[in-house]
A and B are shown apart, each in its own frame.
Chain A
Amino acid sequence: MKDKLEALLREGAEKIQSAKNEAELQEIKGYLLGKQGKVTEIMKEIPKLDVSLRPEMGKAVNNVKNLLQEQIEGRREELKMKASEISPDFDYTLPGIEPQIGGLHPITQMCYDLNDAFRSMGFEIFHGPEITSEYFAFDKLNFPPNHPARESMDTYWLEGHDSGEANEKLCLRPHLTGGSVRYMKTHKPPYRFVYPGRVYRNETTDARHERAFFQYEALIVDKDFTYTAGKVMIKSILSKVFGQDVPVRMRAGFFPFVEPGFEIDMGCLVCGGKGCSVCKHVGWIEIMPGGTPHPNVLRAAGVDPDEYTGFYVNIGLDRLVMMRYGVDDVRLFHGTDLKFLGQFR
């Protein structure tokens, strides 16, 4: 009988350890300790024994029973700790729940990226009025009196304010440079500031032309600032915004408010300068005009052009965003379509 008990103890221990979950364990418990269980079976044999042996065997059976009981409880604790609260058919491959967030307009995003880059170089941010007089839209900027842009075909003049002297004629600003003059008039050089904002042109629209679009003007006025330093500035800014080294070239260009004036190109990031449809196979993309502020502009702002010079660029934000994301229609920016705007995080 002792042998039987020992065998049962071994068998029981093995079975208990092999239980994979509580249900299995419960079954094993029944098999070992239940009313028809193995222990009970042995227990029933005790009355058949010699009286003198009964107490000892009774003890031994109880001992085994307790040992098994303990092992079962131990195993039960173990299984409890291991078990998941969720059933095993949980599907970890289901898509994640996206955080519900809105978004900034892609042009605002670009604008903030540039702000961060320029601010890291000590630039201030400036904002000015969108309705301006002809005086600040053109006269202050060295636009000759017969410049085509002054005519209504290009500028939105305000009803009831579309004739008279230059300081009486009012329009939606056709560019930001006049606003820059406002800054210069109210600050003392040297200075460096950026001026992001929307401008308006009375034009026929298509995929590449808009009546309202965004410019980002940056201006440094300082003593003896050479255009080659300007090139370094542009390169640093673009490289920070695009997160890679961006080649920049400056070539001859003409704008009334700069002298010398440049067309500034950046290396095409789509093809790496090899030539592709985005850059019309030249490897360069015209990105902004720039140059040294024209002495007449500095003078208009009350700055002595013999003492001060500087560097100016006017970045077309719409075009930069189009380049960044491959957007092919400039009108989407003012189109208020959330299916478009929601794409930019």
Chain B
Amino acid sequence: MSSLELRGITVRYGRFTAVDNVDLLVPEGTVTGLVGGSGSGKSTLGKAVVGLAPKQSGQVLIDGSEAPRLRGRSPVQLVFQNPYASLDPRMTVGASVAEALSGGSGSVNGNGSGSGTGSGARSGRRAPARERRPARDAEVARYLELVGMDPARAALTPDALSGGQRQRVALARALAARPAVLIADEITSALDVSVQGAVLNLLRRLQRELGFAMLFISHNLAVVRYLCDQVAVLDGGHLVECGPTDRVLDHPEHPTTRNLISCVPDLALAEEAS
């Protein structure tokens, strides 16, 4: 149960400003949708929060304080857009999820290795692998079940799974890290509409059960409307509008928002046209 607060986040690539001084609060236990056209900086903002994009300035606050990375681990986890690229093709599904478990599975953990700085401090010796294994496997199975996957599939590599199943694994991996906040970056845009529904239902159920705050990045307004309590609109790296979902989508104030809404393709259009 944590809130996520972004204060004055700016991301620059050379002279190009991808995200410009964005302030955003995701209250605890709620979902904020982050929308915008391509190049609006919404994915970059998500990456900056987890430390994958270089922040020029600004703070990421968890529950009002700057959260340290625990043994290099970000308190915010990110689920990537493309489930075909976000799972190591050479690791079994179980190993991928196990890597996220809080105990890790015994290895060297570099402090702040995510930002490419800091020293690789050796963590203390743990129990031998043979003893930890059953407990670890049970945890992996639990998380796979949580996302609606047969734990027996833990032994498979991602190439044996469909896109929807891979995205479930990616979600299980993110949740296994017990994040304070979850960022979902276009997690259904690479999936079929029939699978998208199942993944979104799952995400909504888990979010309500576990109560984590979530930043849901998407270009699909219908999906954002279904899932989010609050909507933030980005344009050219600026936050142009932010408010409760109903208010923003029914009574948009900024032209960018209005334009986005007017461009949503609608099945019903064909009906009207006839």
A associates with B = no
